[in-house]
Chains A and B, each alone.
Chain A
Amino acid sequence: MAFNLENWIAEKTKEQVIFTFKGELSDSMLTDLLLIVENKLEEVDASKKIRKKVYNVAIESLQNLFHHSYPVFLNGTQKKDVRYSIMIITYSKNAIKITTGNFVDEQKSNFLKKHIDKINNLSKDELKILYKEILDNQQFSDKGGGGLGLVDIARKAENKINYNFYSDKKSLSFFDFSIEIKQ
Protein backbone atom coordinates (compact mmCIF):
# COMPACT_ATOMS: atom_id res chain seq x y z
CA MET A 1 0.00 0.00 0.00
CA ALA A 2 1.32 3.42 -0.87
CA PHE A 3 2.41 5.65 1.96
CA ASN A 4 -0.14 8.23 2.98
CA LEU A 5 1.02 11.13 5.12
CA GLU A 6 -2.38 12.00 6.57
CA ASN A 7 -3.00 8.39 7.59
CA TRP A 8 0.43 8.24 9.18
CA ILE A 9 -0.28 11.37 11.22
CA ALA A 10 -3.69 10.03 12.27
CA GLU A 11 -2.06 6.79 13.38
CA LYS A 12 0.56 8.63 15.43
CA THR A 13 -1.88 10.93 17.20
CA LYS A 14 -4.18 8.32 18.69
CA GLU A 15 -2.89 8.83 22.21
CA GLN A 16 -3.19 12.03 24.22
CA VAL A 17 -1.39 14.65 22.17
CA ILE A 18 0.74 17.24 23.97
CA PHE A 19 2.21 18.89 20.93
CA THR A 20 2.17 18.65 17.16
CA PHE A 21 3.85 20.57 14.41
CA LYS A 22 3.74 20.06 10.68
CA GLY A 23 5.24 22.28 8.06
CA GLU A 24 8.54 23.87 7.20
CA LEU A 25 10.77 24.95 10.07
CA SER A 26 12.62 28.23 10.09
CA ASP A 27 15.24 29.44 12.52
CA SER A 28 12.91 31.79 14.38
CA MET A 29 10.07 29.28 14.35
CA LEU A 30 12.33 26.75 16.01
CA THR A 31 12.94 29.15 18.88
CA ASP A 32 9.20 29.66 19.34
CA LEU A 33 8.41 25.96 19.08
CA LEU A 34 10.97 25.07 21.72
CA LEU A 35 9.35 27.56 24.09
CA ILE A 36 5.92 26.10 23.36
CA VAL A 37 7.16 22.54 23.94
CA GLU A 38 8.74 23.59 27.22
CA ASN A 39 5.53 25.26 28.38
CA LYS A 40 3.42 22.30 27.33
CA LEU A 41 5.68 19.94 29.25
CA GLU A 42 5.24 22.06 32.37
CA GLU A 43 1.57 21.06 32.35
CA VAL A 44 2.27 17.37 32.01
CA ASP A 45 1.93 15.03 34.94
CA ALA A 46 5.53 13.81 35.07
CA SER A 47 8.55 14.32 37.29
CA LYS A 48 10.94 17.17 36.57
CA LYS A 49 13.59 14.64 35.67
CA ILE A 50 11.39 13.06 32.99
CA ARG A 51 10.27 16.43 31.66
CA LYS A 52 13.91 17.46 31.28
CA LYS A 53 14.71 14.27 29.41
CA VAL A 54 11.75 14.81 27.09
CA TYR A 55 12.75 18.41 26.47
CA ASN A 56 16.31 17.38 25.70
CA VAL A 57 15.09 14.81 23.19
CA ALA A 58 12.67 17.37 21.72
CA ILE A 59 15.49 19.90 21.21
CA GLU A 60 17.66 17.40 19.35
CA SER A 61 14.75 16.05 17.33
CA LEU A 62 13.54 19.47 16.22
CA GLN A 63 17.05 20.54 15.31
CA ASN A 64 17.53 17.31 13.35
CA LEU A 65 14.37 18.12 11.40
CA PHE A 66 15.52 21.68 10.82
CA HIS A 67 18.89 20.58 9.46
CA HIS A 68 18.09 17.36 7.65
CA SER A 69 14.64 17.49 6.07
CA TYR A 70 14.85 17.07 2.33
CA PRO A 71 12.70 19.45 0.28
CA VAL A 72 9.69 17.81 -1.32
CA PHE A 73 6.73 18.87 -3.37
CA LEU A 74 3.48 18.05 -1.61
CA ASN A 75 0.04 18.32 -3.10
CA GLY A 76 -1.81 21.26 -1.71
CA THR A 77 -1.48 24.96 -1.87
CA GLN A 78 2.31 25.07 -1.75
CA LYS A 79 3.75 25.89 -5.14
CA LYS A 80 7.32 25.05 -4.29
CA ASP A 81 9.29 22.29 -2.65
CA VAL A 82 9.31 22.53 1.13
CA ARG A 83 11.41 20.93 3.83
CA TYR A 84 8.34 19.36 5.31
CA SER A 85 8.74 18.25 8.93
CA ILE A 86 6.43 16.73 11.49
CA MET A 87 6.82 16.46 15.21
CA ILE A 88 4.35 14.86 17.60
CA ILE A 89 4.59 14.45 21.35
CA THR A 90 2.11 12.14 23.00
CA TYR A 91 1.48 11.28 26.61
CA SER A 92 0.43 8.11 28.31
CA LYS A 93 0.69 7.07 31.93
CA ASN A 94 3.70 4.91 31.22
CA ALA A 95 5.66 7.01 28.79
CA ILE A 96 6.02 10.21 26.84
CA LYS A 97 6.65 9.57 23.19
CA ILE A 98 8.32 11.81 20.64
CA THR A 99 7.66 11.06 16.99
CA THR A 100 9.11 12.87 14.02
CA GLY A 101 8.66 12.53 10.29
CA ASN A 102 10.57 14.01 7.38
CA PHE A 103 11.76 13.14 3.90
CA VAL A 104 15.33 12.07 3.28
CA ASP A 105 17.33 11.08 0.22
CA GLU A 106 18.80 7.65 -0.33
CA GLN A 107 22.24 8.47 0.98
CA LYS A 108 20.80 9.77 4.23
CA SER A 109 18.40 6.88 4.69
CA ASN A 110 21.27 4.42 4.26
CA PHE A 111 23.32 6.32 6.83
CA LEU A 112 20.42 6.53 9.27
CA LYS A 113 19.58 2.82 9.06
CA LYS A 114 23.15 1.81 9.77
CA HIS A 115 23.61 4.43 12.49
CA ILE A 116 20.37 3.69 14.35
CA ASP A 117 20.86 -0.08 14.16
CA LYS A 118 24.28 0.41 15.66
CA ILE A 119 22.91 2.63 18.44
CA ASN A 120 20.08 0.22 19.22
CA ASN A 121 22.52 -2.66 19.63
CA LEU A 122 24.65 -0.89 22.21
CA SER A 123 24.42 -1.14 25.97
CA LYS A 124 24.28 1.98 28.15
CA ASP A 125 28.04 1.90 28.72
CA GLU A 126 28.79 1.27 25.06
CA LEU A 127 26.61 4.25 24.10
CA LYS A 128 28.60 6.41 26.48
CA ILE A 129 31.82 5.29 24.82
CA LEU A 130 30.42 5.97 21.34
CA TYR A 131 29.21 9.41 22.41
CA LYS A 132 32.63 10.36 23.72
CA GLU A 133 34.31 8.96 20.61
CA ILE A 134 32.18 11.07 18.29
CA LEU A 135 32.51 14.09 20.55
CA ASP A 136 36.27 13.98 20.78
CA ASN A 137 37.55 12.38 17.61
CA GLN A 138 35.36 13.07 14.70
CA GLN A 139 34.99 16.15 12.64
CA PHE A 140 31.65 17.87 12.88
CA SER A 141 29.73 18.76 9.78
CA ASP A 142 28.67 22.36 9.33
CA LYS A 143 25.17 21.28 10.27
CA GLY A 144 25.65 19.33 13.40
CA GLY A 145 27.22 16.62 15.34
CA GLY A 146 28.00 13.88 12.87
CA GLY A 147 25.37 11.61 14.32
CA LEU A 148 25.95 12.69 17.89
CA GLY A 149 22.34 13.86 18.20
CA LEU A 150 20.84 10.41 17.81
CA VAL A 151 23.33 8.90 20.27
CA ASP A 152 22.40 11.60 22.75
CA ILE A 153 18.69 10.98 22.20
CA ALA A 154 19.12 7.25 22.91
CA ARG A 155 21.18 7.98 26.03
CA LYS A 156 18.76 10.54 27.45
CA ALA A 157 15.69 8.43 26.68
CA GLU A 158 17.39 5.27 27.96
CA ASN A 159 15.47 3.43 25.30
CA LYS A 160 15.71 2.04 21.79
CA ILE A 161 14.87 4.12 18.76
CA ASN A 162 11.98 2.98 16.57
CA TYR A 163 12.14 3.82 12.91
CA ASN A 164 10.73 3.05 9.52
CA PHE A 165 11.36 4.24 6.02
CA TYR A 166 8.49 4.47 3.58
CA SER A 167 9.57 4.96 0.04
CA ASP A 168 7.98 5.13 -3.33
CA LYS A 169 9.96 4.38 -6.44
CA LYS A 170 11.73 7.70 -6.37
CA SER A 171 14.94 8.10 -4.43
CA LEU A 172 13.24 9.92 -1.54
CA SER A 173 11.79 8.18 1.46
CA PHE A 174 9.78 9.23 4.47
CA PHE A 175 11.70 8.77 7.70
CA ASP A 176 9.44 7.79 10.59
CA PHE A 177 11.30 8.16 13.88
CA SER A 178 10.09 7.70 17.44
CA ILE A 179 11.36 7.14 20.94
CA GLU A 180 9.66 6.71 24.28
CA ILE A 181 10.81 8.16 27.57
CA LYS A 182 9.41 5.84 30.20
CA GLN A 183 7.91 7.36 33.32
Chain B
Amino acid sequence: MDPIKIEGTPKTPTVNFNAEKGNIEIKGRSIPENSIEFYKPLVDWLEEYMNNPKELTEVDIQLEYFNTSSSKCILDVFKKLEAIYKGGNEVVINWHYEEDDEDMLEAGEDYQSIIKIPFKMMEIEE
Protein backbone atom coordinates (compact mmCIF):
# COMPACT_ATOMS: atom_id res chain seq x y z
CA MET B 1 0.00 0.00 0.00
CA ASP B 2 1.36 3.40 -0.91
CA PRO B 3 1.98 5.71 2.01
CA ILE B 4 0.31 9.11 2.22
CA LYS B 5 2.64 12.04 2.69
CA ILE B 6 1.13 15.52 2.71
CA GLU B 7 2.98 18.68 3.65
CA GLY B 8 1.19 21.00 6.05
CA THR B 9 -0.15 24.41 5.05
CA PRO B 10 -1.49 27.27 7.22
CA LYS B 11 -4.91 25.61 6.98
CA THR B 12 -4.25 21.92 6.56
CA PRO B 13 -2.14 19.47 8.58
CA THR B 14 0.96 17.46 7.78
CA VAL B 15 -0.12 13.89 7.16
CA ASN B 16 1.96 10.72 7.20
CA PHE B 17 0.20 7.39 6.83
CA ASN B 18 2.52 4.41 6.54
CA ALA B 19 0.99 0.94 6.21
CA GLU B 20 4.30 -0.91 6.42
CA LYS B 21 5.19 0.63 9.74
CA GLY B 22 1.62 0.90 10.98
CA ASN B 23 2.09 4.58 11.67
CA ILE B 24 -0.59 7.21 11.29
CA GLU B 25 0.30 10.82 11.92
CA ILE B 26 -1.69 14.07 11.64
CA LYS B 27 0.07 17.21 12.81
CA GLY B 28 -0.35 20.97 12.62
CA ARG B 29 -3.60 22.78 12.01
CA SER B 30 -6.76 21.67 10.38
CA ILE B 31 -8.97 24.65 9.58
CA PRO B 32 -10.02 24.35 5.92
CA GLU B 33 -13.49 25.47 4.82
CA ASN B 34 -14.03 22.17 3.11
CA SER B 35 -12.66 19.47 5.36
CA ILE B 36 -14.41 16.60 3.63
CA GLU B 37 -12.37 17.22 0.50
CA PHE B 38 -9.14 17.05 2.51
CA TYR B 39 -10.02 14.04 4.67
CA LYS B 40 -11.74 11.81 2.11
CA PRO B 41 -8.48 10.33 0.74
CA LEU B 42 -7.31 9.69 4.31
CA VAL B 43 -10.50 7.86 5.25
CA ASP B 44 -10.35 5.88 1.97
CA TRP B 45 -6.74 4.92 2.72
CA LEU B 46 -7.75 3.62 6.17
CA GLU B 47 -10.62 1.70 4.63
CA GLU B 48 -8.09 -0.19 2.54
CA TYR B 49 -5.57 -0.51 5.39
CA MET B 50 -8.32 -2.10 7.51
CA ASN B 51 -8.21 -5.18 5.31
CA ASN B 52 -4.65 -5.94 6.27
CA PRO B 53 -3.55 -3.87 9.24
CA LYS B 54 -0.35 -4.23 11.25
CA GLU B 55 -0.63 -5.97 14.59
CA LEU B 56 0.01 -2.61 16.20
CA THR B 57 -1.12 0.65 14.64
CA GLU B 58 0.30 3.68 16.37
CA VAL B 59 -1.52 6.94 15.82
CA ASP B 60 -0.13 10.38 16.61
CA ILE B 61 -2.47 13.35 16.53
CA GLN B 62 -0.85 16.67 17.30
CA LEU B 63 -3.10 19.55 16.35
CA GLU B 64 -2.62 23.16 17.24
CA TYR B 65 -6.02 24.20 15.93
CA PHE B 66 -8.91 22.40 14.29
CA ASN B 67 -12.25 23.78 13.21
CA THR B 68 -15.62 22.12 13.71
CA SER B 69 -15.75 21.21 10.05
CA SER B 70 -12.62 19.09 10.63
CA SER B 71 -13.87 17.64 13.89
CA LYS B 72 -16.38 15.34 12.20
CA CYS B 73 -13.75 14.22 9.67
CA ILE B 74 -11.29 13.45 12.46
CA LEU B 75 -14.03 11.39 14.08
CA ASP B 76 -14.42 9.49 10.79
CA VAL B 77 -10.68 8.72 10.91
CA PHE B 78 -11.04 7.46 14.48
CA LYS B 79 -14.05 5.33 13.55
CA LYS B 80 -11.97 3.50 10.96
CA LEU B 81 -9.26 2.95 13.57
CA GLU B 82 -11.89 1.71 15.98
CA ALA B 83 -12.97 -0.89 13.43
CA ILE B 84 -9.36 -2.09 13.21
CA TYR B 85 -9.21 -2.28 17.00
CA LYS B 86 -12.48 -4.17 17.19
CA GLY B 87 -11.12 -6.58 14.58
CA GLY B 88 -8.60 -7.75 17.16
CA ASN B 89 -5.57 -5.64 16.25
CA GLU B 90 -3.88 -3.28 18.58
CA VAL B 91 -4.36 0.46 18.05
CA VAL B 92 -2.92 3.18 20.25
CA ILE B 93 -3.86 6.83 19.83
CA ASN B 94 -1.41 9.39 21.17
CA TRP B 95 -3.23 12.69 21.52
CA HIS B 96 -0.65 15.45 21.87
CA TYR B 97 -1.57 18.85 23.25
CA GLU B 98 0.41 21.90 24.21
CA GLU B 99 1.04 22.66 27.83
CA ASP B 100 -1.86 24.73 29.24
CA ASP B 101 -4.05 24.05 26.23
CA GLU B 102 -6.94 22.62 28.21
CA ASP B 103 -9.29 23.02 25.26
CA MET B 104 -7.17 20.67 23.16
CA LEU B 105 -6.92 18.18 26.03
CA GLU B 106 -10.69 18.32 26.41
CA ALA B 107 -11.16 17.81 22.68
CA GLY B 108 -9.08 14.63 22.99
CA GLU B 109 -11.18 13.51 25.93
CA ASP B 110 -14.34 14.11 23.90
CA TYR B 111 -13.08 11.77 21.20
CA GLN B 112 -11.89 9.28 23.78
CA SER B 113 -15.39 9.05 25.23
CA ILE B 114 -16.90 8.36 21.79
CA ILE B 115 -14.24 6.00 20.42
CA LYS B 116 -13.51 2.77 22.19
CA ILE B 117 -9.74 2.74 21.69
CA PRO B 118 -7.09 3.45 24.32
CA PHE B 119 -5.99 7.10 24.13
CA LYS B 120 -2.79 8.41 25.61
CA MET B 121 -2.94 12.10 26.47
CA MET B 122 0.52 13.53 25.95
CA GLU B 123 1.44 17.02 27.04
CA ILE B 124 4.02 18.77 24.90
CA GLU B 125 6.29 20.80 27.10
CA GLU B 126 7.49 24.08 25.77
Contact = CB atoms under 8 A, between A and B. Distances in A.
Given A31-B10, A35-B10, A156-B103, A60 B67 contact: yes
A145 B10 contact: no
Contacts of A165: none
Given A34-B11, A135-B110, A148 B103 contact: no
A30 B33 contact: yes
A121 to B, nearest CB: 20
Contacts of A136: 75, 114
B10, B68, B69, B72 pick with most chain A CB within 10 angstroms: B68
- Report whether over half of chain B's contact residues are helix, strand or loop; otherwise say mixed: helix
Contacts of B103: 52-53, 56, 155-156
B65 interface: yes
A132 B110 contact: yes
Interface residues of B, number: 19
Given A48-B100, A136-B75, A156-B103, A60 B33 contact: no
B112 to A, nearest CB: 11
B118 to A, nearest CB: 19
Q: Is the interface of A mostly helix, strand, loop or mixed?
A: helix
A112 B71 CA distance: 21
A53 B67 CA distance: 12
A55 B65 contact: yes
A27 B10 contact: no
B113 interface: yes
Nearest to B104: A52
Given A34-B10, A132-B113, A140-B69, 4 more contacts: A34-B11, A56-B65, A135-B75, A156-B103
Interface of B: 10-11, 31, 33, 65, 67-69, 71-72, 75, 100-103, 106, 110, 113-114
18 contacts: A31-B11, A49-B101, A52-B103, A59-B31, A59-B67, A60-B68, A66-B33, A67-B33, A128-B106, A132-B113, A135-B72, A135-B114, A136-B75, A145-B71, A148-B72, A149-B68, A152-B71, A156-B103
Interface of A: 27, 30-31, 34-35, 48-49, 52-53, 55-56, 59-60, 63, 66-67, 128, 131-132, 135-136, 140, 144-145, 148-149, 152, 155-156
